[in-house]
Every structure is written in C-alpha cells, then in structure tokens.
Copies of this chain bind each other. A is one copy, B any other.
Amino acid sequence: MTYAVGMELPLDQILLGDCIELMRLLPSGSVDCVFADPPYNLQLRGELRRPDDSLVDGVDDDWDKFGDFAAYDTFTRNWLVEVRRLMRKDATIWVIGSYHNIFRIGSILQDLGFWILNDVIWRKSNPMPNFRGRRFTNAHETMIWAARGKESRYRFNYAAMKALNDDVQMRSDWLLPLCTGSERLRNQHGLKLHPTQKPESLLHRVLLASTGVDDIVLDPFTGTGTTAALAKRLRRRFIGIERHPDYAEAAIGRYRRERPLPIDSVMATPAKRDLPRVPFGSLVERGLVPAGTRLMDKQRRITATVSPDGTILSGTIRGSIHQLGATLTNAPSCNGWTFWHFERDGILITLDVVRTESTQVVREEAG
C-alpha cells in the first residue's frame, strides 16, 4: 500500500468520502484525539445491512449470521488500523456504540494494541421506553476511551472534570439528555436529518476531558458534525470525514456557523502538577516558614525542626520534608507539603497552604 508522501493535514475541514480510503492519504502520527461514532448496522428491522450499506440476504441460517459479524469485524478492524496509524503515540480515542456492536469494537481495540482507559456509560435522561415490555428500557450507550497503547502518556484533564462535577471525581457514568429540540438538525420537512445525532453536551465533556486548546481532533464518521461544532467552539483543530453527501453538507454548514468561545474560557482548569514548583527552601529563605519552626504531623505525634537550608531535622535524622515524612512513618513515599503542619495563630496549617500563599504573592508581583 502506498501513502501520499508529505500530504498536508487538511485541518478544520470535513472531507466527503469513505473514511478508510481517505485516512490512507493522511500522514501518520498526526492527531491528538479521535471521536468515532461508527455505524451499528446490525440485526435491525428484520433486514441486515453490511457496513457498506449493501443488503445481506438469507438472514436465518447460522452461516450468514457468522458472515455478518465477520463482515462487521473486518470493517471495524480496517478503520481502526488506519485511525491508530494517524494517532500520535500519546493520543486517545473514543468510540461510542450499543450492545449490538460495542463488544466487537472493544475486542478489536484490545487486539490491535489499544489500551482501554475507561468504558464510559452515557445514561440517557430521556430514553425511548421499551414499547413491548419484553426487555429493560435500553437507557444507555457505551463509550470506550482508550490510549493508542499501554505506554501512552495520554492527556486527562482531571481538574477540569472534577470542577465540572461539583468538585468530586467524575465517574464513569454520565447522565445526559438526548439530542432533541432546536439542537436537532432537521430537513425542510421538519424531519430529523440524522437518526443518531449525538448531543452537544456529550462531545463537550469528551473534548474537555481529553484534549487541550489547538489539539487536533479526528472524527472519521462525522455525520451531522457534533464533534466538529464542539471542536470549533472549544478551539480545538478538527478533521472530519463523512461518506454521505447530505450529512457532510449539513456538517460543513454547521461547522461554518459555529463560533469559538473566548480563548480564556476554554483553557483547561490548571492541574496542580502544572503549577510552578516552589522549593521548600525558598519559603525558609523568604521567612514564610522561618528556620527553627517546629513542624508536626496532623496528630502532633511526630515533630521536626526547620533548618536554614530547607532540610528538616527530627532527632538525629535529617532530610527533605518528603524524605523525613516517609522515614518517620515507615512509608515508601510521602508528600511533605501536605504531611507537615505548623502552628499559626493557634491552629495547625499545612506547608501546602503557605506554598499556595507564596505563589499568589509571586503572581501578584509579576502581574
């Protein structure tokens, strides 16, 4: 197989055509995140259709059932192989599906070397009831979130997700409404343009969780362009592919009309590990935690004294705030910033509080 050498990445575009063929023209290792909503095409309405939309005949015998799954598996493997080639080493992928297809997809993802990070459940707040009363109301869809490989150092905006969820960790089950009302794209007859248009809230959360500003997002099954719209709104770059001309046209119009949010608003909530580092010694130096200060753990069971060079001393043992915390509690490691306290105005505060105060001072001075 040959690839177009040196082809430019078609950024912020929606390409019309077959995603496998078009992806073969794009350069390897070029996208940061993928969202894919592939066709389900299984066991619907008495007729079976292959992924290429051709009709499967002879529905009832076992051979054809197997043939149908095999065709779907081949299709799935083919597009996932191309997607994986386009992903940077640390990129992640989201794939959404239902019980008809998600187990095939999950298995093939694993077989291809993707590393599953979570399966995320979209709980629909307003699902269609089960009219015949023969099953549980099918009230959710499943998304698989996976890194390109086990070794990927993927992006997860933990602090942003926690902030979005009332300051507790975001769980793997998300309650979101279906795409209805004015958000739903319709044709001139008022009929829905696409049978499975995804809600914007879903893509909002997906992109906010796993991408940064200017990251390149690929959607090989763009449909009516929910991923495209949210990528533009959140100031991510976008590459979309859609085979059906009506859908592609709708998605392109939607993408053009979308306006990016102000740049400040789309910056991710900073994670603590991304904040500037402050050596403990500089707090001692600046007198914020003076040498000689008596440090103790929360229960006041362990104490230590601050030395002028930023080490601390307990009995005859000397070391960094982290080292001594670990040694004195027989722990393999210790975060000295949150372990050690000292008394100020009669109450115990952690070193972390002082550190936070000090960076604020620095920022005010700098700003």
Which residue from chain B places its CB closest to the CB of A42 in the assembled complex? B110
From B137, B162, B329, A53 is in contact (CB under 8 Å) with B329
Among B66, B100, B111, B140, contact of A121 (Cβ-Cβ < 8 Å): B140
State which size class the interface on A falls in: 35 or more
Q: Does A86 contact B (CB under 8 A)?
A: no
Q: Separation in Å of the A228 CB from the closest CB of chain B? A: 24
Contacts of A158 in B (CB 8 A): 133-134
Contact residues in B for A24 (Cβ distance below 8 Å): none
Interface residues of A in 86-124 (CB under 8 A from B): 98-100, 102-107, 109-111, 113, 116-121, 123
> B118 to A135, Cβ gap below 8 A?
yes
Query: Is the beta-carbon distance between B139 and A53 smaller than 8 angstroms?
Result: no
Contacts A134-B156, A172-B136 given; does A102 touch B113 at CB 8 Å: no
A260 at the interface (CB under 8 A from B): no
Q: Flag whether A8 is at the interface (Cβ < 8 A).
A: no
B residues near A109, Cβ cutoff 8 Å: 103
B138 to A172, Cβ gap below 8 A? yes
Within residues 146 to 171 of chain A, which ones have a CB less than 8 A from any CB in chain B? 156, 158, 161-162, 169-171
Task: List residues of chain B with CB within 8 A of the CB of A172.
Answer: 136-140
Contact yes or no, B113 A103, CB < 8 A:
no
Q: For residue A169, which residues in chain B have a CB less than 8 angstroms away from its CB? A: 129-130, 133, 136-137
Nearest residue (CB) in B for A47 is B332
* Contact assessment for B113 and A62 in the assembled complex, using a CB-CB cutoff below 8 Å: yes
A318 proximal to B (CB < 8 A): no
- A367 lies within 8 A of chain B by Cβ: yes
A69 at the B interface (CB under 8 A) = yes
**Judging by beta carbons under 8 Å apart, are A99 and B118 in contact?**
yes
| Complex: A113 Cα to B118 Cα, angstroms | 28
Residue of B nearest to A121 (CB): B121
Within the complex, the shortest CB–CB distance from A271 to chain B, in Å, comes to: 8
A282 proximal to B (CB < 8 A): no
Which single residue of chain B is at the shortest CB-CB distance from A154? B134
- Residues from chain B with a CB closer than 8 A to the CB of A133 are 156, 158, 162, 169
